[in-house]
Amino acid sequence: MQKTTTILSILLLLTGLGLAQAQNAVTTTPQPPQVNASSYILMDYHSGHVLASENPHLQVEPASITKMMTAYVVFSEIKAGNLSLDDMITVSEKAWRTGGSKMFIEVDKQVQVEDLIRGMIIQSGNDACVALAEHIAGSEEVFASMMNQHAKKLGMTHSNFLNATGLPAEGHLVTAHDVALLGRALITDFPNLYHYYSEKEFTYNKIKQHNRNTLLYRDPTVDGFKTGHTEAAGYCLATSAMRNGMRIINVIMGTESEKARADETQKLINYGFRFFETHKLYNAGDEQIRAELWKGKEENISLGLASDLFITIPKGSYDQLNANADIPGLLTAPIQQGTQLGVLNITLNGQPFTQKPLVALETAEQAGWWSRSMDGIGLWFKSFGDDE
């Protein structure tokens, strides 16, 4: 048997915001702008909600956007302690000979890892990518398998990587949606390394090159991610921007020019910030419900969320939010901390919007024999009452 328990109103948890936003309400959210691209996705970073998209799961060649996954593997090795920014890497002939964009490293010379990271991100150096891949995995082929392992963990179910550079290879594919997931992970998992994406220029071997992400120069709220271009892939751009605490990720694939990928991205970013807002409703680990517990040492058990809950909604609709919880009518010890015990439902204007698991915030141990027996008798009588 299920019972529904109403919990604290979201409006009470975020006092004062609802009225202010209602006074400046956007009564309707317009359709997103027309975008000349093979696929795109506009996603809120904190909530993961998709604000606009077209063909987001279309598999396409990623070109140098591949280097976002290369960076993810490199950053993972640094975080794990297997690699240091100060480590020196000897450049192989293969890395030196790799075609396409370069940071101009030289064969048999040693280069610092941090320089190679900047060369990979800012200068889009294919030579830097191969040098990093070979140092970490022994070969670029093995490194590509590491890329795919990380992609699988991130939920990038429609992507497949065959190299560290993004140079054309049959079967080397991503989707806009997968790249957005990767972008979120880069920011979340490596906050101390993400800053490399906002750097506008890098000089190595007396050669200065500028970041190819035009929006870094045009829009001060844009702080990262990567461009890509090959004849087959077209002009691609993955971008992140933050305004007033709200961060948006946009991935656009297959535009016709450098200008087009920047212009189309700018339209989508402006649309997202203009017509949507993001709120943190609940903190992970905060008690949302104190539920009745049977056969336990304690009479109640705390329920809450395992992770922070963010939502992204149309501007002006905050006061239309509500929350309730569905929990089993009878919770019986023992219960391990982290066990899902119910669901938190969020509605917008009376319609289901999102839901999150409610978990036990503590371990509930069984009571002694006598207390369990008394509770058993109580449950027996309660079952008759519930059937009426």
| Residue 64 bears catalytic tag | yes
Compute, in degrees rounded to 10, the torsion defined by CA atoms 98, 99, 101, 107. 40
254, 278, 302 - which closes a domain: 278
Please pick, among 64, 92, 101, 240, the residue that the annotation labels catalytic: 64
Residue 93 falls within a domain, yes or no? yes
Listed residues 255, 278, 301: the one ending a domain: 278
Same domain, 240 and 291: no
Query: Same domain for 157 and 219?
Result: yes
Point out the catalytic residue in the list 124, 159, 302, 317.
124
| Torsional sign, CA 73, 69, 309, 215 | positive
Which among 300, 353, 309, 360 is positioned nearest to 336, based on CA atoms? Answer: 360
Helix (H, G, I), strand (E, B) or coil at 170: coil
**Do 90 and 231 sit in the same domain of this protein?**
yes
Say whether both 256 and 315 belong to one domain: no
Domain count along the chain = 2
- Is residue 31 in a domain? no
Report yes or no: 279 and 14 within 8 Å, Cβ to Cβ.
Answer: yes
Residue where a domain stops, chosen among 278, 298, 313: 278
Q: Which domain, by its residues, includes 233?
A: 45-278
Instruction: Answer yes or no: 67 catalytic.
Output: yes
- Say whether both 234 and 314 belong to one domain: no
Q: Examine residue 16 and state whether it is found in any structural domain, yes or no.
A: yes
pTM across the whole model: 0.88
| pLDDT tens readout for residues 86-144 | 999 999 999 999 999 999 999 999 999 999 999 999 999 999 999 999 999 999 999 99
Tell whether 158 and 271 lie within a shared domain: yes
Which residue is catalytic, options 67, 102, 226, 295?
67
Same domain, yes or no: 159 and 241: yes
Asked if 319 and 183 sit in the same domain, the reply is: no
Write out pLDDT tens, residues 234-262: 999 999 999 999 999 999 999 999 999 99
CB 247, CB 280: distance < 8 Å: no
Residue 365 banded pLDDT, cuts 50, 70, 90:
confident
How far is the CA of 261 from the CAs of 49, 159, 181, 235, in angstroms? Answer: 22, 21, 20, 6
